[in-house]
Each structure stands twice: as C-alpha cells, then as structure tokens.
C-alpha cells in the first residue's frame, strides 16, 4: 500500500503555491468557514485581498500573532485562541467585530488532522459571532524551524463610541468579569514535564456577546482584557495611562480554588497570569449596579465582581488591600511568568 504522506502531514509543497496548496485550501481550510466575505471580494473568490463593507461608526483595527504551547490545551486550542484574542481586543475597545483575516505558518510534518481541528475551532467562534473570514495566507517552514504552528489574525470592528483603557476617573468602580488566572494555569498544568492532575480549563471565549448589552447601557469609561501579565499588568497599565490610583480588595478578586492551589504549589501569582476570556473595566459609580447585573446575567459573566475603585492618591499605582489590615503595591509584572501563553 502506498503511503500518501501529503494527505496526512504538511509538506513543503503545501506552501509552494501549486496544486497541492490549492487542494489544501479547497479541501481542508475553506470548507470549515461558512462566512467568507464582507463585501463583493473575499475568500469566496480566492483573491489576495478583500473588500469590507462597514456599517456606520468608528473603524477599529487590531492584529495579533499566536504561538501558544501546547497548541491544543484544556478548554481550547490555538484556533480558538487566535479568534478570541483578536475579537476581544476589538470588544474591549467597544467595537463589534465585522471581519477577520487568518494567516497560517505551519511546520513541515504538522498533522493535518490537528490543523483541521484548529480550523474548526476558529470557524465555530466566527460562525457564532456572525463574523466572516475575508482573507488569509498559508506558509510552510522546514522541520525544526517552527514549533508546529503559528497564527496571525487581524480583526476589523466598528464602534459607536470607542472605549480606551485610559479613561478612568476618580470615584469610579473597577469590575472584572470572571475568575482570573484560569488560562495561564490551565496551560501550565498541561505542559510536558509537570504531570499535574487538575480540572482547570482555559477561560478562552469571545467577549462581545457579554459586553454588548453593558456597552449599550452606558457608563463604562475604560476597559482592557487581562492577557499577558494578567490582572496585575492590566490594572497597572490602566492606572499609568490615566494618571490615577487604583485600590483593589484582594478578597473580592474571583479566583478558582484550583488556580489558587496550583499557584501556591508553583509560586506563581494568579494575578499575574493571563486570562483569555475576561475584561477589566472602570464604570461610573451610578451605573455600577446596572452594569454588574447585566454582566452577571450572561453565562460568561456570572462571576463578575466589583473588586475596587479609582482613587486620587498613588497616581499610576495599584494598591492591594489584603483584608487583614495590610495594604501593599500590586506591582507591574516583569512579564507573564508562563511563556508561550497566547
């Protein structure tokens, strides 16, 4: 029996622009995506670019590279992560995602079954959001030149009012939309060499369905997704940009028991580990109760908590109230303690 390696593994010819690449696109990639155009030109026509017809509003564009390890992890994979990471960058700026591009860089020998799983994951998120994949590219690198797969995504969104991460005002309250540290801790537990038994799963999820009702209500003045560097990095960056202080109550920060136990075991703070399906926001005090109710009504936001407030003192710093009479600075991390997290 002749072994057809090209049907099982990525070869250099899959990125060479010939018949085998066309077959990869036509049989393995494009059929996964139901929506492939946002205008008269898109992936349906296999053009190098796309025309995107935009609704009224301010156009927001973001781009991301994804090199997560392992590329399939508890709760998701690099396809889920690539789409969610990009649409979430749009969502926390108040922008509804309307189009996405996808660039694949594959290592020769990468399993086509893994590629198909990753593409199905990405397509499911886009389909649920009603967002078309309008353009893409595929390249192949030699064995040993890449660790399996890397993905680039660029997202286009439209916002009625752009939300920055620097709009905090003294007296506003700080909310986080769910438990923190889940993504990073789940990946760390899944990596080779740790052999840790845990039910932790990544929190990776698209934020737009959760945030849209709250944005429509009004009162959100600043927002950020706590990815690399986690909650600590997000809060410090927001405080620095707005030239205000932030005071956080440690006992109010939602953390899963599994994340806390793993962080104690490994000496890594869950406040410094990436989330991929959470938002941190500043909300005007008179809107806080309504926003909290709206967020908690959505399955993704049921663990939303008010964790602190914006203060005049300690400009550019974050103060952590430990709840036992102590207060300390929550410092900006030097970097995410778990590399290759997204």
Q: In the listed set 159, 189, 220, which residue is the last one of a domain according to the structure?
A: 159
Cis amide linkage into residue 70, ω under 30° from 0: yes
pLDDT of residue 2: 44
Q: Per-residue pLDDT tens for 89-145? A: 999 999 999 999 999 999 999 999 999 999 999 999 999 999 999 999 999 999 999
The per-residue pLDDT for 321 is: 95
230 shares a domain with 90: no
Whether residues 120 and 198 share a domain: the answer is no
312 φ, ψ to 5°? Answer: -80, -35
Q: Find where tokens 């909290």 sit.
A: 292
Residues 227 and 126 in one domain: no
Q: Do 17 and 115 belong to one domain?
A: yes
Tens digits of residue pLDDT in 289-303 = 999 999 999 999 999
* Structural domain boundaries, residue 82: 5-159
Percentage of the chain modeled with pLDDT above 90 = 76
β-strand partners of 159: 58
pLDDT, greater one: 130 or 13:
130
Residue written as token pair 């690449």: 21
pLDDT at 33: 92
| Residue 6 pLDDT exceeds 50 | no
Question: Given a cut of 60, is residue 1 above it in pLDDT?
Answer: no
Confidence of residue 3 (pLDDT cuts 50, 70, 90): very low
Digit-coded pLDDT (tens) for 207-244:
999 999 999 999 999 999 999 999 999 999 999 999 99
Dihedral sign of CA atoms 26, 27, 29, 34 in order: positive
CB 211, CB 301: distance < 8 Å: no
Domain boundary, last residue among 128, 159, 190: 159
Q: Is residue 254 part of a domain?
A: yes
Same domain, 268 and 245: yes
Q: What's the total number of domains in the chain?
A: 2
Q: What CATH number did the domain enclosing 40 receive?
A: 3.30.1330.10
Average pLDDT, the chain: 91
Distance CA 249, CA 252 (A): 6
**Per-residue confidence band for 193, with pLDDT thresholds at 50, 70 and 90:** low
What is the per-residue pLDDT for 336?
67
Q: CA 304, CA 44: separation in Å to the nearest integer? A: 40
Residues 105 and 241 occupy one common structural domain: no
Q: Could you give the residue ranges of the DSSP H alpha helices within 268-323? A: 288-296
The residue behind tokens 């974050």 is 318
Indicate whether 191 belongs to any domain: yes
Segment holding 265, helix H or strand E: helix 257-266
> Among 41, 155, 27, which Cα is nearest to 102's?
155
CATH number at residue 180: 3.90.650.10
- What Rg value do the Cα atoms of the chain yield, rounded? 21
198 and 130 share one domain: no
DSSP annotation of 101 reads E
Q: Please give the C-alpha separations between residue 131 and each of 46, 99, 123, 128, 276, in angstroms, as whole numbers.
A: 18, 5, 9, 8, 19
Q: Please, which pLDDT band fits residue 5 given cuts at 50, 70 and 90? A: very low
Give yes or no: residues 54 and 152 share one domain. yes
Q: Which residue has the higher pLDDT, 178 or 41?
A: 178
What tens digit of pLDDT does each residue of 37-64 get? 999 888 876 667 899 999 999 999 999 9
According to DSSP, residue 163 is labeled -
176 in Cβ contact with 253 (< 8 Å): yes
Structure-block tokens of residue 247: 């005071």
184 phi/psi in degrees, rounded to 5: -60, -40
Selected residue with higher pLDDT from 325 and 185: 185
Residue range 250-264: mean pLDDT, rounded:
93
Same structural domain, 32 and 85: yes
């Amino acid at each position: 029996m002749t072994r057809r390696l090209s049907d099982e593994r990525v070869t250099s010819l899959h990125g060479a622009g010939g018949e085998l690449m066309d077959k990869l696109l036509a049989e393995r990639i494009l059929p996964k995506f139901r929506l492939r155009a946002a205008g008269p030109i898109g992936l349906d026509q296999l053009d190098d670019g796309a025309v995107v017809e935009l609704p009224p509003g301010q156009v927001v564009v973001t781009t991301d590279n994804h090199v997560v390890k392992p590329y399939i992890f508890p709760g998701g994979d690099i396809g889920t992560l690539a789409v969610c990471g990009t649409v979430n960058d749009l969502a926390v700026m108040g922008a509804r995602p309307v189009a996405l591009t996808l660039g694949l860089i594959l290592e020769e020998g990468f399993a086509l079954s893994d590629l198909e799983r990753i593409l199905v994951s990405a397509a499911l998120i886009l389909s649920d959001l009603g967002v078309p994949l309008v353009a893409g590219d595929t390249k192949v690198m030699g064995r040993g030149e890449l660790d399996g797969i890397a993905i680039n995504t660029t997202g286009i969104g439209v916002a009625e009012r752009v939300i920055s991460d620097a709009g905090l005002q003294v007296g506003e309250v700080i909310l986080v939309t769910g438990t923190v540290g889940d993504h990073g801790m789940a990946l760390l537990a899944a990596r080779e060499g740790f052999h840790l038994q845990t039910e932790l799963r990544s929190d990776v999820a698209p934020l737009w369905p959760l945030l849209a009702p709250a944005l429509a209500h009004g009162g959100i003045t600043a927002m950020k997704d706590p990815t690399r560097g986690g909650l600590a990095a997000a809060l410090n960056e927001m405080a620095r940009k707005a030239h205000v202080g932030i005071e956080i109550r440690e006992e109010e920060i939602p953390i899963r028991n599994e994340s806390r136990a793993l962080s104690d075991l490994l000496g890594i703070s869950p406040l410094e580990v990436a989330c991929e399906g959470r938002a941190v926001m500043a909300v005007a005090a008179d809107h806080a109760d309504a926003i909290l109710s709206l967020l908690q009504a959505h399955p993704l936001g049921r663990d939303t908590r008010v964790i602190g407030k914006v203060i005049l003192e300690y400009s550019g710093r974050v103060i952590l109230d430990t709840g036992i009479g102590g207060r300390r600075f929550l410092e900006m991390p030097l970097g995410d303690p778990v590399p290759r997290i997204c």
